[in-house]
Amino acid sequence: MDRKSRYSAGIKRKVIVVDDEYVNRQMLGFIISQKYDVMYAENGRDALEKIKTVKTELSLVLLDIMMPEMDGFELIKIMKDDEELRHIPIIVLTSEESAEVKSLKLGASDFIMKPYNRPEVILARIGRIVELNEGRHIIQDTERDTLTGLYNQNYFYEYAVQLDQYFPNWEMDAVVIDVDHFHLVNSLYGRQFGNEVLVKIADTIRSILSETMDGYACRYEADKFYLYCTHLDDYEVIRSQIMEELFTLGDDKRVRIRLGVYSDVERQLGMEERFDRAKLACNRIRNNYTQAIAYYDNKLHKDAIFAERLIHDIHDAIVNKNLVVYYQPKYGVQGEKPVLKSAEALIRWNHPEFGMISPGKFIPLFEDNGLIQILDHFVWEEAAKQIRKWKDEYGVTVPVSVNVSRMDIYDPRLETRLLDILKDNGLEPSEYMLEITESAYSDDSSQLIEVVQSLRDKGFKIEMDDFCSGYSSLNMLTMLPVDVLKMDMQFVRNVHTDENSFKLIKLVMEIAEFMNFTVIAEGVENKEQYDLLKQAGCDLIQGYYFSKPVPADEFVQFFDKD
């Protein structure tokens, strides 16, 4: 009778406990013998013989690693090479973490930590593996992530759901652990190092799961980890434990992790939804250098619903012309009196229900799902029409800069699209500037550099937006196709109150002069800031000091002052 039929016939499933130490065998046997029909073996060779005699009747092998005669690793190898035995699941019994990883890689399904101090967890693990194996034969390669040995996402969800079923009353947390700017870690220190980081995090999570809490973990989308585990009030311990381990890879390397926690999950939500909530919390601190752990709460929930609503409404907004482009002037300040030089096009959404929504609220949403391109194309066209209109009606040429998102740059039709827009409106590339945020350059992609270089060759002026917000290194600057550095607002903010800020700005000015970049400061709000920036040699200034972004028809007031 094979293992499945045994069970349907009401006969206990057969399992074998392989351990050279008598006490260990008996302890484990004691825990599981109520539910299982237990056989025993004292080393690999002994076990192999017994396994061969029962073969298809056997539901599970519980296997110690360090044993005389034939050790656990060897037995796993033999079983995995044997057509008849390879489908019998194996759980490794170990007190050493290093053994776990190796045995999982060899094809064990799971591991149980010695000493056996949590019988209910042991029973749950065993039950899960046995049932899974009966449902279908697990293909080990797809179940685990080859780099870290953690589960893949699908299996992870399945096991997490099972854990819920076994322990319906446990308070559980869904946790997302994300490596900050992982692509930067890769490009600064190499992919090999990037992999080491991921493995280190996975190993630490694994040991936390076997020592301090119960649960499962998986790797998700390259640089994230999902953790479904028993509730913890404060995740700082977990974070610092992982950070400490990462430190051992070299304390000169800057690697940082972020945690998003959805505490005490609602069981009626699907597993994916629970992790969406944790992810939401995690994303909220994406560019926040002072906070590394975020907890999901009601406000986040409301924000998420609002975000969904905006995503839903964007098509109507375009059709109903609720999107409007505002213009903010940029002044040349090095002459005797400030002179209007150009403008930046900034989108506004006049929502029929919520009123004016600032782009800070919706642009990030659309960057995540690609809708940003629709918005950008709209703004590019509007801006070109506007330049034309000002030329025709007022005889003035005001070059306008538009924002170009990261996603636009990787669109192969970008250049033709821009050139078509100019042609349709009878404009020259020199009358149209492109702002590309500094963080896009940090992708360090040769494709990006090629695309931008080619645009520049066509005559477009390129501004590096948000310069100094934290991504570029000075030596990168020498290789980048850029005409104008647009100093980040944060950087300008303290120029009049903090001497170091001012020194830094002067330094940027010196470098810019040396490399022949024009410099523009944005977010200039008052006379003190204005005077200092002018004194430091800044060429152009944009900010509330001159004007907020205004609708096109109000913008003409700046012509007169000229």
Among 10, 360, 395, 412, binds ligand C2E (CB under 6 A): 360
Q: Which does 360 bind (CB under 5 to 8 A by kind): Ca ion, ligand C2E, none?
A: ligand C2E
Do 203 and 99 meet the contact criterion of CB atoms below 8 Å apart?
no
Q: Does 435 bind Ca ion (CB under 5 A)?
A: yes
Site track for Ca ion across 456-495, x = CB under 5 A? ---------xx-----------------------------
Segment contacting ligand C2E by CB under 6 A, of 80-88, 258-266, 286-294, 356-364? 356-364
Nearest Cα to 304, choosing from 356, 365, 349, 258? 365
Count of residues interacting with Ca ion (CB under 5 A): 4
Burial (CB < 10 A; 0-12, 13-18, 19+), residue 372, is buried
Alpha helices, H only, 425-498:
438-441, 446-457, 474-477, 489-493
Q: Which is nearer to ligand C2E, 178 or 522 (CB)?
A: 522
User: Among 201-209, 251-259, 282-290, 352-360, which window interacts with ligand C2E (CB under 6 A)?
Assistant: 352-360
Alpha carbon distance 27, 306 (integer Å)? 55
* Complex with ligand C2E: residue 217 or 487, whichever CB lies closer: 487
217/379 with CB nearer Ca ion: 379
Least Cβ distance, residue 533 to Ca ion (angstroms): 15
In terms of CB distance, is 110 or 465 closer to Ca ion?
465
Q: In this complex, which beta carbon is closest to ligand C2E, that of residue 481 or of residue 543?
A: 543
| Residue 483 partner contact from Ca ion, ligand C2E, none using kind-dependent CB cut-offs of 5 to 8 Å | none
> Which amino acid is located at 151 in the chain?
Y
Residue for token pair 């969800």: 157
Q: What is the DSSP string of 327-378?
A: EEEEEE-SSSS-EEEEEEEEEEEEETTTEEE-HHHHHHHHHHHSTHHHHHHH
Determine which residue in the list 347, 462, 487, 495 makes contact with ligand C2E, applying CB under 6 A: 347
Rounded Cα–Cα distance for residues 209 and 91 (Å): 16
Q: Which does 364 bind (CB under 5 to 8 A by kind): Ca ion, ligand C2E, none?
A: none
Q: Assess contact for 363 and 418: CB atoms under 8 A.
A: no
Q: Applying CB under 6 A, which of residues 332, 359, 470, 537 lies at the interface with ligand C2E?
A: 359
Give the nearest distance from C-beta 230 to Ca ion in angstroms. Answer: 44
The interface partner of residue 359, options being ligand C2E, Ca ion, none and the CB cut-off 5 to 8 Å by kind, is ligand C2E
Does residue 543 touch ligand C2E according to CB under 6 A? Answer: yes
Spatial CA neighbour of 121 closest among 224, 194, 49, 211:
211
**Binder of residue 100, out of Ca ion, ligand C2E, none (CB less than 5 to 8 A by kind):** none
Q: Out of 72, 89, 149, 549, which residue is the one contacting ligand C2E (CB under 6 A)? A: 549
Distance in Å, CB of 312 to ligand C2E, minimum = 20
User: Which positions from 370 through 389 interact with ligand C2E, judged by CB under 6 A?
Assistant: 372, 375-376, 379
**Which tokens belong to 202?**
């996975």
User: Contact 459/479 with Cβ under 8 angstroms?
Assistant: no
Residue 403 binding Ca ion, by CB under 5 A: yes
Residue 284 in tokens: 């909220």
Phi and psi (nearest 5°) for 449?
Answer: -65, -40
* Helices 446-457 and 414-424: angle between axes, nearest 10 degrees: 20
Residues 293-322 that bind ligand C2E (CB under 6 A): none
Residue 200 or residue 330: which is nearer to ligand C2E going by CB?
330
| Radius of gyration over every alpha carbon of the chain, rounded to an integer in angstroms | 31
In whole angstroms, the minimum distance from the beta carbon of 59 to ligand C2E comes to 57
Q: Which is nearer to ligand C2E, 179 or 372 (CB)?
A: 372
Element (H, E) at 55: none
Report the number of secondary-structure helices (H) and strands (E) in the chain. Answer: 25, 20
Q: Using the rule CB under 6 A, is 464 a contact of ligand C2E?
A: no
Q: Which of 140, 525, 534, 559 binds ligand C2E (CB under 6 A)?
A: 525
| Separation between Cα atoms, residue 344 and residue 147, nearest integer Å | 46
Helices (H), 174-297: 182-189, 191-211, 236-247, 271-284
CB of 486 to Ca ion, least distance (A): 6
CB of residue 227 to ligand C2E, shortest distance in Å: 33
Q: Which stretch binds Ca ion (CB under 5 A): 126-134, 236-244, 401-409, 507-515?
A: 401-409
Contact pattern from residue 399 through residue 418 relative to ligand C2E, giving x for each residue in contact according to CB under 6 A and a dash for the rest: ----x-x-------------
Residue 485 exposure: Cα atoms within 13 Å on the Cβ side:
25
Asked if 384 and 426 count as a contact pair (C-beta separation under 8 A), the reply is no
Which of 133-141, 248-256, 354-362, 419-427 is the region at the interface with ligand C2E (rule: CB under 6 A)? Answer: 354-362
Question: Rounded to the nearest 5°, which phi and psi values hold at 206?
Answer: -60, -40
- Closer to Ca ion by Cβ: residue 203 or 465: 465
Part of the chain binding Ca ion (CB under 5 A), chosen from 207-215, 246-254, 391-399, 434-442: 434-442
Structure token digits, residue 6: 């045994």
Instruction: Give the footprint of ligand C2E on residues 466-495 (CB under 6 A).
Output: 466
Could you tell me how many residues of this chain bind ligand C2E (CB under 6 A)? 22
Cβ atoms of residues 7 and 60 within 8 Å: no
Cβ–Cβ < 8 Å for 456, 483: yes
Angle at 504 between CA 500 and CA 507, to 5 degrees: 140
At 107, which helix (H) or strand (E)?
A: none
Binding site for ligand C2E (CB under 6 A): 328, 346-347, 358-360, 363, 372, 375-376, 379, 403, 405, 465-466, 522-525, 543-544, 549
The contact set with Ca ion (CB under 5 A) reads 403, 435, 465-466
